[in-house]
């Protein structure tokens, strides 16, 4: 009987909550219908005849209005119950209230859009054609701004390089998977780092890619038909839940999605590519040889998967774009959050396990002031009030500003690795020192790809239950013998590190190929060790991504790792630490050390690796220390 009453209480609570949520959804739509002309399932034609499903919300007040445009692979069907329905309506209501039309569109091949899907919505001309269609509408003032985070941001850069005259401004947020090659950074849309696969897409594609046998609406269906059908059929796939932490362990990695009965047509094409494969330069990625001609307000996060390429792109556009007006109108915000979690900052923002204080910012106010300036022509005070770079410094827990990134006061300061040959684990004798080592020592560790160092926190996205992102205490991790630990003395004064962190290692191995990882840590007086950023380098790509150069047993090689990035204040009494190993899994795919393809291999080779530190081989990390 007790269980019966408990069931009744739970049922009543469920019904009450759902009734409340449904009422809230209906209230949003009622408000939207009062002020907006709603035109759903408009099938916007592309130059090749393919039509893209588009919803348009514009003010009833009349007159020509500017457009805020979001293009996405995700479901935005506003019919039915659930958060997505409310989210679409809430964004439309907010935009229309501010005097804009809100246009949201699915990439080709997604949901009700026709055609075949590929990552970033290839071809790029779809974006250009959408701009042309929108600016020609009688209710449009011809000015279009693009807005979105993650997959609704990543396509913006490459399309901006097509320089459509109506693309007046953009706000890309968490946009790293749209960045291909920027200088020496070659991630190809977050697929690689340092030549090693980042496994986020292995998980992301499982949840996102539609089956090749998905239901399809007949070509030529009318808008009336599509509106009616969309009330009954959402076309949103619901994949069986998967323990992604286990799924990502499967070898060979090219069969991971097959092994969990996932869709894998796009994955199959991407997994066999090398970092400089010509296919990366034919799709929707932005590369540094493309001229970007749009004023941009960039949003990045310290614990996003692609913070370094994001910041490198901001610098590239700010410093190299031919148009001075465009160079002078690049703005950047860097928040202390995970991927696309800007607005979730609170009075006590906790990222992982670490509190970084009150990280709130008036994001919406700034974004709409930006759009008002460029799309409405309002002579507001955005440029007078808004610094070129707003960045949050963790540790001191404060927003700061600068005209450049890194801040002009940042000075690269070198710390050298040293030990007596036993830096293994936090119990070892590894140190970071401002003086070059006088002795000729090396630290040895064994890397077994069947027992990799597990990822614990970090700068991640989209890995399901495999990794929880953010800052976590690394003390338990640092008991492993295959992690080398180097730590400064206790700081007598506080130190702010803001900028790109560079590192050079001198390494040797008995394997033809292996990886080297590094992680930057803030060590508290009580021993807590919070991770700030991490990176990796596959040894075969140490001389560049155009060729593979394997190692000879015992020979020493210089390896320059892709820069890390942060803004962190190491308080007095803290210590600065780095960890070095050869794996960070499943953040990065394991190197099986064979020198083979890696993606099609099941068996690994144990590697015995060394980090050398001496006057001849000065392994080091270079920190951008800000003096004020």
- 279-282: long-range contacts at Cβ-Cβ below 8 A with a sequence spacing of 24 or more? 280/180, 280/181, 280/188, 280/189, 281/180
User: What pLDDT was estimated at residue 439?
Assistant: 82
* Segments of the chain assigned to CATH 3.40.50.1820: 18-152
- How far apart CA 24 and CA 297 sit, in angstroms, is 32
For residue range 292-310, what is the model confidence (pLDDT) as tens digits?
999 999 999 999 999 999 9
User: What pLDDT was estimated at residue 73?
Assistant: 95
Closest CA to 502 of 583, 435, 565: 565
Q: Which of 115-129, 321-335, 609-623 has the lowest mean pLDDT?
A: 115-129
Q: Looking at residues 355-369, what average pLDDT do you find?
A: 97
Using 50, 70 and 90 to split pLDDT, how confident is the model at 83?
low
User: What pLDDT was estimated at residue 123?
Assistant: 81
Assigned architecture for domain 18-152:
3-Layer(aba) Sandwich (3.40)
Query: Residue 376 has what DSSP assignment?
Result: I
User: What pLDDT was estimated at residue 239?
Assistant: 86
Please check the confidence at residue 4 and state whether its pLDDT lies above 60: no
Q: Looking at residues 203-231, what average pLDDT do you find?
A: 90
Strand 575-581 and strand 557-570: pairing? unpaired
Q: Looking at residues 444-472, what average pLDDT do you find?
A: 97
Q: Looking at residues 240-264, what average pLDDT do you find?
A: 96
Residue 499's region, left for phi above 0, alpha for psi from -120 to 50, else beta, is left
The HSE-up count of residue 351 (CA atoms within 13 Å, CB side) is 31
- How far apart CA 170 and CA 155 sit, in angstroms, is 11
Q: Which of 66-80, 91-105, 282-296 has the lowest mean pLDDT?
A: 66-80
User: What pLDDT was estimated at residue 497?
Assistant: 98
Residues contacting 519, CB < 8 A, separation 6+: 474, 531, 533, 534, 578, 579, 580, 584
Please check the confidence at residue 17 and state whether its pLDDT lies above 70: no
Domain 410-626 has CATH 2.60.120.260: yes
Say how many residues make up the chain: 628
Q: Looking at residues 158-169, what average pLDDT do you find?
A: 97
- How far apart CA 594 and CA 408 sit, in angstroms, is 44
% the chain with pLDDT above 90: 86
User: What pLDDT was estimated at residue 438?
Assistant: 83
Strand 431-433 and strand 607-613: pairing? unpaired
Please check the confidence at residue 279 and state whether its pLDDT lies above 80: yes
User: What pLDDT was estimated at residue 445?
Assistant: 98
Paired tokens of 105: 């569109």
Q: Looking at residues 148-156, what average pLDDT do you find?
A: 96
Contact indicator for 263, 239 with CB cutoff of 8 Å: no
- How far apart CA 284 and CA 64 sit, in angstroms, is 31
Using 50, 70 and 90 to split pLDDT, how confident is the model at 545?
very high
Using 50, 70 and 90 to split pLDDT, how confident is the model at 88?
confident
* More confident site: 212 or 2: 212
User: What pLDDT was estimated at residue 216?
Assistant: 86
Paired tokens of 152: 């609704």
Paired tokens of 415: 């710390």
- How far apart CA 211 and CA 619 sit, in angstroms, is 48
Residues contacting 591, CB < 8 A, separation 6+: 196, 449, 513, 514, 515, 538, 582, 583, 598
9: preceding bond cis by omega (within 30 degrees): no
Q: In angstroms, what CA-CA distances link 477 with 188, 284, 368?
A: 30, 38, 44
User: What pLDDT was estimated at residue 569?
Assistant: 98
Using 50, 70 and 90 to split pLDDT, how confident is the model at 231?
confident
- How far apart CA 107 and CA 117 sit, in angstroms, is 7
- How far apart CA 366 and CA 195 sit, in angstroms, is 37
Please check the confidence at residue 80 and state whether its pLDDT lies above 80: no
Residues contacting 162, CB < 8 A, separation 6+: 124, 125, 127, 128
Q: Which of 32-36, 231-235, 270-274, 444-448 has the lowest mean pLDDT?
A: 231-235
- How far apart CA 202 and CA 412 sit, in angstroms, is 36
User: What pLDDT was estimated at residue 79?
Assistant: 64
Using 50, 70 and 90 to split pLDDT, how confident is the model at 212?
confident
Please check the confidence at residue 26 and state whether its pLDDT lies above 70: no
Q: Looking at residues 394-400, what average pLDDT do you find?
A: 98
How does DSSP assign 166-222, residue by residue? TEEEEEEES-GGGB-EETTEE-TTTTEETTEEBTHHHHHHHHHPPPTT---PPTT--
* More confident site: 424 or 439: 424
Contact indicator for 134, 55 with CB cutoff of 8 Å: no
For residue range 574-589, what is the model confidence (pLDDT) as tens digits?
999 999 999 999 999 9
User: What pLDDT was estimated at residue 215?
Assistant: 85
Please check the confidence at residue 423 and state whether its pLDDT lies above 70: yes
CB atoms within 10 A of CB 481: 12
* Segments of the chain assigned to CATH 2.60.120.260: 410-626
Using 50, 70 and 90 to split pLDDT, how confident is the model at 343?
confident
- How far apart CA 334 and CA 312 sit, in angstroms, is 13
- 201-205: long-range contacts at Cβ-Cβ below 8 A with a sequence spacing of 24 or more? 201/267, 201/270, 201/462, 202/248, 202/253, 202/256, 202/257, 202/267, 203/244, 203/247, 203/248, 203/462, 203/463, 203/464, 203/466, 204/462, 205/257, 205/262, 205/263, 205/264, 205/266, 205/267
| Beta strands per DSSP E along 227-351 | 296-303, 330-338, 350-351
C-alpha 241, offset from chain centre: 23
How does DSSP assign 401-437, residue by residue? EESSSS-TTEEEEEEEEE-SS--BSTTS--EEESS--
User: What pLDDT was estimated at residue 12?
Assistant: 43
* More confident site: 166 or 216: 166
User: What pLDDT was estimated at residue 18?
Assistant: 43
User: What pLDDT was estimated at residue 15?
Assistant: 39
406: preceding bond cis by omega (within 30 degrees): yes
Q: Which of 49-53, 77-81, 325-329, 441-445 has the lowest mean pLDDT?
A: 77-81
% the chain with pLDDT above 70: 95
* More confident site: 29 or 511: 511
Q: Looking at residues 203-211, what average pLDDT do you find?
A: 92
Query: Residue 279 has what DSSP assignment?
Result: G
C-alpha 24, offset from chain centre: 32
* Average model confidence (pLDDT) across the chain: 93
């Amino acid at each position: 009987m007790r269980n019966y009453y408990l069931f009744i209480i739970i049922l009543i609570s469920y019904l009450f909550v759902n009734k409340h949520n449904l009422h809230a959804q209906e209230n949003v739509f009622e408000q939207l219908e009062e002020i907006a002309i709603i035109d759903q399932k408009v099938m916007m034609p592309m130059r090749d005849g393919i039509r893209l499903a588009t919803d348009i919300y514009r003010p009833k007040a009349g007159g020509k209005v500017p457009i805020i445009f979001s293009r996405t692979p995700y479901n935005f069907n506003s019919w039915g119950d659930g958060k997505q329905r409310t989210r679409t309506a809430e964004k439309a209501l907010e935009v229309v209230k501010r005097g804009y039309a809100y246009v949201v569109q699915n990439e080709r091949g997604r949901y009700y859009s026709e055609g075949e899907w590929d990552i970033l919505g290839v071809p790029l001309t779809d974006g250009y054609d959408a701009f042309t269609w929108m600016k020609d509408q009688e209710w449009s003032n011809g000015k279009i701004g693009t807005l979105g985070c993650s997959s609704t941001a990543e396509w913006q850069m490459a399309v901006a390089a097509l320089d459509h005259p109506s693309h007046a401004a953009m706000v890309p947020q968490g946009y790293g998977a749209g960045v291909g090659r920027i200088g020496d950074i070659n991630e190809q849309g977050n697929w690689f780092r340092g030549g090693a696969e980042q496994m986020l897409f292995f998980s992301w594609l499982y949840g996102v890619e539609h089956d090749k046998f998905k239901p399809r609406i007949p070509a030529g269906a009318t808008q009336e038909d599509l509106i009616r059908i969309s009330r009954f059929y959402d076309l949103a796939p619901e994949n069986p839940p998967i323990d992604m932490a286990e799924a990502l362990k499967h070898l060979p990695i090219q069969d991971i999605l097959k092994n969990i009965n996932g869709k894998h047509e796009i994955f199959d094409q991407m997994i066999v590519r090398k970092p400089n494969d010509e296919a990366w330069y034919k799709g929707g990625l932005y590369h540094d040889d493309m001229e970007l001609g749009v004023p941009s307000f960039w949003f990045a996060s310290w614990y996003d998967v692609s913070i370094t390429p994001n910041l490198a792109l901001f610098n590239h556009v700010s410093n190299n774009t031919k148009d001075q007006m465009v160079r002078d109108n690049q703005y950047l915000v860097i928040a202390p959050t995970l991927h696309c979690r800007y607005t979730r900052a609170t009075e006590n923002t906790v990222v992982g396990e670490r509190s970084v204080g009150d990280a709130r910012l008036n994001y919406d106010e700034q974004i709409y002031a930006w759009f008002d300036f460029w799309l409405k022509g309002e002579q507001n005070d955005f440029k007078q009030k808004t610094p070129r770079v707003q960045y949050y410094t963790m540790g001191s827990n404060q927003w700061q500003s600068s005209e450049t990134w890194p801040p002009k006061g940042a000075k690269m300061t070198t710390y050298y690795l040293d030990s007596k040959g036993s830096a293994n684990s936090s119990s070892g004798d590894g140190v970071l020192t401002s003086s070059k080592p006088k002795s000729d020592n090396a630290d040895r560790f064994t890397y077994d790809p069947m027992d990799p160092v597990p990822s614990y926190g970090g700068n991640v996205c989209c890995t399901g239950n495999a990794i929880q992102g953010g800052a976590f205490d690394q003390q338990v991790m640092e008991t492993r013998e295959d992690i080398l630990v180097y730590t400064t003395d206790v700081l007598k004064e506080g130190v702010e590190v803001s900028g790109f962190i560079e590192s050079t290692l001198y390494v040797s191995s008995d394997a033809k190929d292996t990886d080297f990882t590094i992680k930057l840590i803030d060590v508290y007086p009580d021993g807590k060790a919070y991770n700030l950023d991490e990176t990796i380098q596959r040894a075969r790509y140490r001389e560049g991504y155009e060729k593979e150069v394997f190692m000879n047993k015992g020979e020493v090689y210089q390896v320059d790792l892709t820069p890390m990035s942060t803004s962190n204040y190491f308080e007095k009494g803290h210590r600065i630490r780095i960890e070095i190993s050869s794996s960070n899994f499943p953040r990065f795919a394991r190197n099986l050390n064979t020198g083979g393809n890696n993606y099609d291999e099941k068996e690994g080779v144990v590697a015995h690796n060394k980090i050398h530190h001496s006057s001849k081989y000065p392994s080091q990390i270079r920190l951008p220390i800000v003096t004020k």
